A = this chain, B = another copy of it.
Amino acid sequence: MKRKITLKQIAKELDVSVSTVSKALSNSKEISEDTTKKIQAFAKLYNYRPNNIALSLKNRKTKTIGILIPEIVHHFFSTVIRGIERVANRRGYNVIVGLSNESFTKEIINMEMLANGSIDGFILSISKETLLKQDYHHFHATINQGMPIVMFDRVVNEVDCDKVIVDDFNGAVKAVKKLIENDCKNIALITTMDYVSVGRLRTQGYLEALQTSGIEHNSNLILKIDDSLDVENHLELLEAEIAQFFKTNPNIDGVFAVNELYAVSSMKVARKLGLKIPDDMQVIGFTDGVLSKHATPSLTTVSQHGQKIGEQAANLLIDRLEAEEAEPEQYFTNNEQKKDFIKVVIETEIIERESTK
């Protein structure tokens, strides 16, 4: 079992200096053709590869991106990772992922673990607990240390950085308008608590669509699910809540749900209550994941294009990293003049399936 070979070992073996080896391997014309050939041959034979850590230390950059997300067993987030990984890889970067598990503390711990030299920049989506607490000091701290951050999906105005979001508002508007066009008279909204920004925006979109269509909104038709209870593992609770909601509002003939789970659960409950989808009730969800595609009936949804989000985020981050490299510091002008941060909005798209007419 031989450890990886180093420049020093090659140098000793070939009786030249370390510098000579290094130069020969990078085809410096400072080194004679003979020596270069000899060294390169030896290096190839022993499968020499420069040590990344040493390079990182020397260059003061690691060529790796830190991803920090609330959860990984989640179609949307894993799709985003795939997008990030794709462009990162193409542009010569690695990705290292941390999971906050929706916890404020784990988010901080993870950030600190990675911010100490392990990565060149962050791509992250804020945990629910952090959103609830509205404590963003750790983001400010890392930005102040000169480490760029790109936020996606769950972003927040209080932090100055590049952002990639989906057009939650207009996505919701489109969805609800489609229900209206499809002759729904009483459109329900099933959403989360307000502190998750995406939930709030989608709710606003719902209201906007109703208003511009001249429909007055009925607050009884809005169901806010308290996801502090672990819904994913207690479907019964969720379903019971929805069932109750449908029973007290028997006139509902259209449902806009802010995520897949709520949408699919609604369909399930509706069916149990003897309603036919899409004849008696039409349903549109948000996030185009596996569930939407494979549910029966398959679900019409607002697609978020997670992969595109990831790709954009990665490009944004790497662009900034390499810009910094080109014109170091002055990029960060004096404090008055803020850097101009970019906010990319990814358009949503309605994917029509069987749950609407």
- Name A's B-contacting residues (CB within 8 A): 1-4, 47, 49-54, 56-57, 62, 64, 72-75, 78-79, 81-82, 85, 89, 94-99, 110, 112-118, 141, 144-146, 235, 261, 264-265, 267-268, 271, 289-291, 293-296, 329, 332
> If A145-B4, A296-B295 touch, does A97 touch B99 (CB 8 Å cutoff)?
no
How many Å lie between the Cα of A112 and that of B114 in the bound state?
A: 22
Q: Are B82 and A73 neighbours in the complex by a CB distance under 8 Å? A: yes
How many Å lie between the Cα of A296 and that of B329 in the bound state?
A: 57
How many Å lie between the Cα of A157 and that of B64 in the bound state?
A: 33
Q: Closest residue to A51 on the B side, CB-wise?
A: B117
The minimal Cβ–Cβ distance linking A271 to chain B, given in whole angstroms, is 7
What residues of chain B lie closer than 8 Å to A79, measured between beta carbons? Answer: 73
Interface pairs A-B: 3 shortest CB-CB: A51-B117, A96-B96, A52-B117
Q: Are A329 and B95 neighbours in the complex by a CB distance under 8 Å? A: no
What residues of chain B lie closer than 8 Å to A265, measured between beta carbons? Answer: 294
Q: Which of A49, A141, A144, A265 has most chain B Cβ within 10 Å?
A: A49
Cβ contact of A118, chosen from B53, B117, B261, cutoff 8 A: B53
Cβ contact of A94, chosen from B4, B73, B113, B268, cutoff 8 A: B113
A-B contact list, 21 entries, CB within 8 Å:
A2-B146, A3-B145, A3-B146, A4-B117, A49-B112, A49-B115, A49-B116, A51-B117, A52-B117, A53-B53, A53-B56, A53-B62, A53-B117, A53-B118, A73-B75, A73-B79, A261-B294, A265-B294, A267-B296, A291-B291, A291-B294
How many Å lie between the Cα of A96 and that of B332 in the bound state?
A: 29
> If A75-B73, A271-B296, A295-B296 touch, does A97 touch B117 (CB 8 Å cutoff)?
no
The minimal Cβ–Cβ distance linking A139 to chain B, given in whole angstroms, is 15
What residues of chain B lie closer than 8 Å to A110, measured between beta carbons? Answer: 89
Q: Are B94 and A1 neighbours in the complex by a CB distance under 8 Å? A: no
What residues of chain B lie closer than 8 Å to A141, measured between beta carbons? Answer: 47
Q: Closest residue to A4 on the B side, CB-wise?
A: B145
The minimal Cβ–Cβ distance linking A243 to chain B, given in whole angstroms, is 15
> If A82-B99, A85-B97, A271-B296 touch, does A116 touch B52 (CB 8 Å cutoff)?
yes
Q: Are B145 and A2 neighbours in the complex by a CB distance under 8 Å? A: yes
Q: Are B82 and A72 neighbours in the complex by a CB distance under 8 Å? A: yes
The minimal Cβ–Cβ distance linking A43 to chain B, given in whole angstroms, is 13
